[in-house]
Chains A and B, each alone.
Chain A
Amino acid sequence: MSIYSQSYPGHPPYGAASYTHPPLQSGYPYPYLHSNVAAPPPPPQPVYHYLDPASFRREFTTRLSELQVNSRPLIQNLSMLAQDYSKFAEIVAQCIEEHIRRVPPWMKLPAFYLLDAISKNVYEPYARHFASFVKPLFLETYGQVDEATRTKMEEMLLTWRTGSPAGKELFAVPPQIAIERGIWGDSAANYNSFSLSGRVTKAQVLSELEYTLGQKERALQANPYDTTSQNHVNVLYQLRKLVDAGVSQEELQQILNQLRTLIRQVPQPPTSSSSSNPTWPSQMTLPGSLSSTSYPPSSSAPTSGQPHQQHVIPPHAVKAEVGIFNPNAAAPQLAASKDNIASLLSTLVKAGVVSASTSVTPDNTKASAKVDDQDTQRADLEREFSRYYRNSILAQKIQLNSLDIMRKRPNVVNLLYDQLSLQCKQCGLRFADTVVGKKRMEEHLDMHFRQNRKATQNVGRGHSRSWFTSAEDWSHDLPPDVKGKGRENNTRSFNARVAAEEVAKREAELRAQYVVVSPGDEAKALSCPICKEQLKTEFLEEDEEWVWKNATKKDDRVYHATCFAEATAVKSSFAARLRFEKHGSRSGTPDTQSSRTTPPPDSRISRSKSPISPPRESKVVGTKRKVQSDDIAFGGNATPPFKKAALCS
């Protein structure tokens, strides 16, 4: 027999009645409870008053039927309902099992997430109830779902190894082993072992990779200055790419080995890796942080502020924790992990799949790099998604004329229904069954959740029609509040970000322009005719010349390149305008008002509002401009403030 029968001294065995669950809120930093829903979850005081099991079953079934996608709010609500009514645990278990068996494959995973959430959050008595059917249900479901879902299920399964409050198997040992065998074959049974026997599948390695990655990312979020984790994350990303691309069986084994070493973090003497050593479970992070790896939305949720609390973790495991999460931990541990990384890398290099040059240089950049990375990934996916749509749209042969419009058979059903197979059951809006589509649907459901909650909170309050928006706000798409906005908010901010990047790039190019100072003129102060600011000189090392930075020469006059570009490119001046809005003074474009002062119907051009006037009129607006350009860091170092401001605008 393996380690499974063992338990930690001083800790109750799995499922023992003596175990008392800590109060939900203080107990686990559970991701559902820290979703991007602004307000804290309602106090445990139940708002429902079900008296009899039948009504409870009805209510729970109804709510469960709404769980069609991975919606944190819904999962959270259902978990809390389960917690409040743990006396009906059997009913809950029955409902969930029936639901998972009944619903179409694409709806099964969210229900498994619910099962997972209830088990980890509430634990008693639910895990016990679920344990009775979790193996067949899991394996049966696994056989019915698509590849992507399988991966998610595998990730979840891995968290179950240590999902109990004591850091042990969430549903007891036998189901855990049985499920893992069913999925990965016999080798899985040795998951605690260093030396793997039997075949290792790519899926298994990827699962464990994802799992480890999730842990490391969370560690990094908790402690952005943890350069060790930063490095781990980088390497793991590379590893994932490699494994994804395909490596040999031998390498798979090696990688798996390395992974397990890495995640253990505890410098283990060789003897401790014998099969009788119960070290695997001890490597666990915390139930909360672990489980969150299986919930994609948590990656975007601001969980970083959540302290990783430590509960019921055996003393030596706590030490391991410190190794992972605390950069101030003992140096030997850090060194050990660095060695691991090195060996991981060398494995990769040996395999010839990666060149040594692409290896990660340990860089101490801030953790925001990670966030940017996610943004980029999302952006890439969005682009791919719209590229796909674009191609399917352009493939339709239709001419915009009366004849073609009348004659052709439209293929609109495919576009409006078939390609968008996920439907919001509240409002009917559809989403594509893709990563991006799911993400959008999730955001959309979050929006409904917030609105619905607002609606219930507002019952009995007098509502009224709002004033219409002002021209200024309307033109800038500024809602007076965020009411009714959901999906589009995200698209908006994403678009705004793309635009802001565009602007920042152009800005940088302009600022890179320079004009060589005529010899002898170095000491002469020269100001930009537009903004009246003095032009800054700088000595260019390579060319050994004095130049005016951010400068351009026109008709023998030297302007700021940025000022000149604005003044001339009035038409396509959204860049300039963005720059103005940046420092928050939308009133910085007073022309919106004043432009209405000369409003004969046909004078559109005269009313077009350049943020500034062309050079020769500059005297009039000079003063105003000057103040603004000071704010905008014309003199200071250029781009960062722009980007930042644009992001939060």
Chain B
Amino acid sequence: MTSEAKAVVKREWKLEPESEYRFEMDPGTTLAIKLIVGHAEIFGFELVEGKWYLFGYECKAAVYTWQGCTIEVAGQPSTEYVSEETSMSAYANLHIAFEQMRVRALRKLRGSPPHSDEPGTPVEPPRVLVLGPENSGKTTVCKILTNYAVRAGQGWSPVYVNVDPSEGGWAAPGIVSSAPITGPISTYSPANPLGSAATTTPMSFTSNALLPLAYWYGHADIRKNPLLLERLIRNLGENIKDRFDNDPESRVSGLIIDTPSSFASGQGSNDPRHRLIKACIEAFNVNVIIVVGHEKLNVEMQRAYSSQLTVVKIPKSGGVVELEYAYRERVHNYQLHAYMYGQIIPAPAGVTNATIGGETFTDLALAPSSTVINFGDLSIYRIGAESMAPTSALPIGAKRVVSEMQPAAIDPAQPGSGLLNAVLALLSPLNPDENERYDEELLDLTISGFLVVTHLDIPRKKMTILSPNQGSVVGRTAVLGSFEWQEQ
């Protein structure tokens, strides 16, 4: 019998202090891990003793222990091993240094009497830009630093900023976004590396009900439209600044900014990365740059910025695996699927009462809505590049660069509109006051969510839209990018 052949595979691993159990998974498999005794954490997220935690969707993660522990693993990972070579102590030191900055900033804000500090110690909270090449574990570092901050018991809620459009974060790829983090972020699926944007499902973890602020870039590659990306970064910075002005105490928790790996190394002198790094530093008022395991980049950053801020190099995290292109593509699919339909991770045989990242119920299924609308019901635009007008149509003296930021309306009735299976970003409502409108307003609006065009009926001028919820999209505006998604 196959069911018996697939008998329960459960193994115990005893981990020495400051070591970690690393695993990778094959597509379509699930894994469950339980902490039997001791303390353990996954990228800074502490596990509760005796609870099964599920993993799926080719999750790659590591269970780390500071003081030693025993864990039980059910299911069959594709790779698993224990390593004592981690960079956790460096990350922990960073955390302590950032905590010092936070408490000093808080003290200043509350006007408490000065400590016996050395004079001249900075009293600004940490606003940290994390840079690193491909597969250096930037996101892991960001996640650990964020999790440690929210675990400090001080009510911190650092704002996590993700300016890597190829990384879906808490929703789907193509956006630059930010969210205040108030509770630990769990790791269970690459579809939600940074927790999950809010749903109507009641959640135990605030990190599974995040309220991100998101702008639509629409592409995975920063070189596709660097001007647009820069503008969105600056818009994001403005909103964060507003938030901090509104609640000065929230400012004290600081910012953690995750960046694309293409910020780390460029292609020639024309590469936009320097400009984008500079935009980040200005927009988010960065005061610490962390370079993850890249000496050349470290030197470069030291030279450019060490006069105005602190540049620290840290080693790359040990467990990082090379990710091939096909894997990233699959992850993008998982993300859009999870955005629309949620995620169900079945427990491996022999495991009962399992949790997904600690959430006590495993049925995180969501019901999107599919509606047929008229072509005219939704205004769809594309920004720049593909829609560039022929030079003859440009105003005299205008440079081509202008059109990179130009929204161009898309006519769904035109064959080759590129709309079928396209992921659209639904924009926040335009300014109701016509006089306040301007050409590039679309670039400065945050997005409400993602839509997918699942069917085009050109003769009848109708299209079918998959939307995450029942909310009407009629009369709204959406922007096309270069992402596509098809239900599999």
A: which residues have CB within 8 A of B?
383, 386-387, 389-391, 393-394, 396, 398-402, 404-406, 408-413, 415-417, 419-420, 423-432, 437, 440, 448, 451-452, 454-455, 458, 462-471, 473-477, 479-480, 483-488, 491-492, 495-496, 498-499, 573-574, 577-578, 592-594, 596-597, 599, 601, 604, 607, 609
Contacts and interface: CB of A to CB of B under 8 A. Distances in A.
A498 B112 CA distance: 14
Nearest to A389: B154
Q: When A and B form their complex, which 3 residue pairs have the shortest distance between CB atoms, in order from nearest? A: A484-B209, A410-B92, A465-B468
Nearest to B90: A405
B369 A464 contact: yes
Contact of B151 (A408, A429, A484, A486): A429
Contacts of A429: 46, 151, 183-184
B92 A465 contact: no
Contacts of A597: 436, 438, 441
A394 B103 contact: yes
Interface stretch (B192-200, B259-267, B384-392): B192-200
Given A428-B184, A465-B449, A465-B469, A423 B48 contact: yes
Nearest to A432: B153
A91 B366 CA distance: 41
B182 A488 contact: yes
Nearest to B121: A394
B285 to A, nearest CB: 10
B365 interface: yes
B446 interface: yes
A454 B199 CA distance: 13
Interface in B405-461: 426, 428, 431, 433, 436, 438, 440-441, 443-449
A509 to B, nearest CB: 15
Nearest to A476: B246
Given A405-B312, A429-B151, 5 more contacts: A389-B103, A413-B67, A451-B204, A464-B200, A465-B199
Nearest to B249: A495
Contacts of B310: 400-401
B209 A483 contact: yes
Contact of B214 (A419, A468, A578): A468
A469 B213 contact: yes
B211 A474 contact: yes
A246 to B, nearest CB: 29
Contacts of A607: 238
Nearest to B196: A465
B181 to A, nearest CB: 10
B154 A386 contact: yes
Contacts of B93: 398, 404-406, 408, 410
B80 interface: no
A625 B174 CA distance: 40
Contacts of B470: 464
Contacts of A599: 231, 235, 440, 443-444
Contact of A495 (B100, B247, B436): B247
B184 A487 contact: no
Contact of A477 (B103, B180, B203, B314): B180
Contact of B245 (A431, A470, A577): A577
A397 to B, nearest CB: 10
Nearest to A436: B153
B159 to A, nearest CB: 10
Given A405-B312, A470-B428, A488-B157, A577 B444 contact: no
A426 B203 CA distance: 12
A492 B448 CA distance: 25
A373 to B, nearest CB: 21
B304 interface: no
Contacts of A596: 431, 438, 441, 444-445
A393 B100 contact: yes
B242 A469 contact: no
B97 A400 contact: yes
Contacts of B342: 463, 465
A387 B154 CA distance: 10
A394 B100 contact: yes
B132 to A, nearest CB: 14
Contact of A471 (B184, B314, B428): B428
B138 interface: no
10 contacts: A393-B99, A393-B103, A394-B117, A398-B96, A411-B96, A412-B96, A415-B96, A419-B153, A454-B202, A495-B247
The range of chain B's interface size is 35 or more
Contacts of B213: 468-469, 471, 474
Interface string B194-233: 0001111111111011011110000000000000001100
A329 B426 CA distance: 66
B115 interface: yes
B314 A469 contact: no
A364 B249 CA distance: 36
Nearest to A399: B97
Contact of A601 (B183, B208, B231): B231
Contact of B312 (A402, A430, A480): A402
Nearest to A469: B211
B206 A488 contact: yes
Nearest to B87: A406
Given A406-B315, A466-B469, A488-B155, A480 B211 contact: yes
A371 B339 CA distance: 45
A500 B246 CA distance: 11
A430 B234 contact: no
B163 interface: no
Contact of A464 (B45, B104, B368): B368
Contact of B89 (A410, A474, A488, A492): A410
Contacts of B97: 398-400, 405
Given A413-B66, A429-B184, A573-B245, A475 B239 contact: yes
A406 B90 contact: yes
A322 to B, nearest CB: 45
Nearest to A410: B92
B367 to A, nearest CB: 4
B243 interface: yes
Contacts of A448: 204
A39 to B, nearest CB: 14
Contacts of B154: 386, 389
A234 B209 CA distance: 44
Given A412-B66, A475-B242, A593-B436, A487 B182 contact: yes
B81 interface: no
A467 B429 CA distance: 12
Contact of A491 (B155, B211, B448): B155
Given A394-B117, A411-B96, A474-B243, A416 B152 contact: yes
B189 to A, nearest CB: 15
B94 interface: yes
Contact of B366 (A454, A463, A485): A463
A464 B199 contact: yes
Contact of A499 (B107, B206, B242, B249): B249
B358 A463 contact: no
B426 to A, nearest CB: 8
Nearest to A457: B202
Nearest to B358: A427
A426 B48 contact: yes
A394 B116 CA distance: 10
